[in-house]
Structure 1
């Protein structure tokens, strides 16, 4: 996979991961708040059912105790025993002795003359009869629950079945529901609507209606269910508090994931082959061009500049051109690299060259580039687009480009016919041979900086200068760093010079600014 595609893929994964982690944080915050909220409802329901079971067990135990009494019904001793049973059990309000469905006597009233009880509403799993009634012989309208055995009925205040205080952070209401008849046996607050009726007969344990959350806990053995409910306002507040915790956590995890993915990306880039890295750099136009001024030694005027390729690295440094240009030549990438440099030169300085028709830019091309038929067309198109003179673009070739004269000579002649000056670069460092030097078509010879550095004790440089003059070639001395070197070269007839004495290679903005100051 190409690195750029890999970067796009990893960047997409990075963005998706960050969004997923943040979304997950929001979801976890909401789930956590909901879990705590519903947990309160469930816990309260369990405690209510525990209380209901406790009251029911006490009533059943009282009935068993009453059935064991062996004294004449409704006698003074019998009434006393019923009172003892009632008073010793906190949840029992009254005990009645029955014949069939007719109350005969009561622990409160003694002999009782009241209407017969209706048929029971239900039978408990243990065989006890169950009534729910608002009738009272005392003339008080108050709902009561009655649980009866064969001969006795105990009266229980239904509020005692749900008399549990919530200890959570918000108020919770509860109702005890008879499942078969949808009967509200006891309720701590009025139910707002009958939305629970349908839900109570499904497998639903939790539902929300408007801004109220309901929770249902069923006890089929008793044919009852507890219905707890509360406002969702505390849930919203708790969710916001949870979000304040989970969202930064999700953000931190996203940053960690981003760091890990970027580390993986760097490792993958390092694992790439040098050729693949260079190919991706060319495709991504990461190779940039810097420009080193070329000066007229006689009067210090600017003559032009040499275009030099630079490959920026992630750490802010530049990879040495000798390394990646040699790599490009060895791996077949020199042609696209040269085309990129040509396009960059015109993009950077096309307008500048148009404004300064007496100046030029020299571009290095390799021996391989001489076989590229697209390069002359590329040069023509850009020159025409910017309305330049072909002489403003010089082509620098190394001596190796002239070795195979049968191949190179027609191409070089074609470039000179187009109007481009031909420079012999790095003369004397490679394949120098008088046999082909005599027949080459060139306009200028560049003296390598190694000869310039050794002017004081090297006798080769004067001979190179003499040879260039004999062949009617102008000269550019590279690597001039001191005024003494500049003076010596000027005295020996070298026309042009470049080097750190004037300026290092500059990016396009710095180069244009430098030329304006000069």
Structure 2
């Protein structure tokens, strides 16, 4: 069973807690944004209704004041009733004389004029406003009233019914801009502010004013946010966040532990010389003859798992013991192929080097000693360096030149995938240029790389070097390369998969 260090357990626990908290914060943010948007929509509908009520009141007051009929006459009452029929937000329309109500469309001529109390507000336009006036006709009824000159209107109690309280917890107040007069208020009495509420607060608030009238609106929603939800929902959200974060943490810890474990296993494998090699034949296309082989390092861990080189080689580079692997691979390959390489032939062995190997003077000494030990000519050793190498170009060029002058052949691997410019490459002492398999795979397709392949072959004429095409797997690819670069060498599964030293020797002798 997999066990974790105490540090890993603490980190996972903290991440679970942070995940739960982040999910709650995310929930708070999402709910706040949603509630704020809904509250804004409600505020917009409320301001539209307030504008509508104000507009109807203004129009009616203006029309009544321009009537030519005798106030409260039969003709006048007839016209008042027709106006009342047209405007749904008004309950009644009446006439004043000396600030006393003398008739209305609904009640006709009053036997006793009704005295209006002092207005709550007098607008600059001369409109007088009263809110919730009681006892004008019935002590049980309170009315909102507006008048100008001798005309008076009564707002219908139903004018704001459809927009009064659409959602539980909403409250609203419709006032003048200076808040001296309150037209309407809905819901609980609240302390309103003109500032928009922050997303992390437990309430939402909107303030806006009409562009047509002296009307402003405050709208508020209490109990908004994550903690307004039922307790079990909050718990589920927290658990979900904790589970998600815990899963990611576990994956990260496993990855780190695996990386550490991989590093330890690889170091142990190198120390115990448990790496092994395979060889991929290199074939001359013009006569299909094997002219060399590239040595490839392989590793099978203690669990019997084959670990790909693109996994463990970067680990070795990062931890600084790639040089040990290069030395072991070189030694195994020269020992395996000594009989072929020491013979009277042109067969060569291609060895991949890390840039640190090239810059390491001790590696050059090691290489010189081991080829002498096995009686192999230096000219049969091809040292491959990738174009993506990030060392200082000048220093790298000097070291490669030194190795080349010492008698070794130099190959530029993965050509076309790096960042080097052609003028720089032209100065390097390359005997072989290897075209990366990504371009080979593009042969016969409509990809951008396919269009570049022919140009790459054309560029090869700039260099006095043999071209090796990697990743050949089909007859179509062989035919294409043979047509565009007749002298090219090739390697890939088309000519055979990587094999052991014994199998390669048998294949070469055949």
Normalised to the residue count of structure 1, the TM-score between the two structures is 0.46
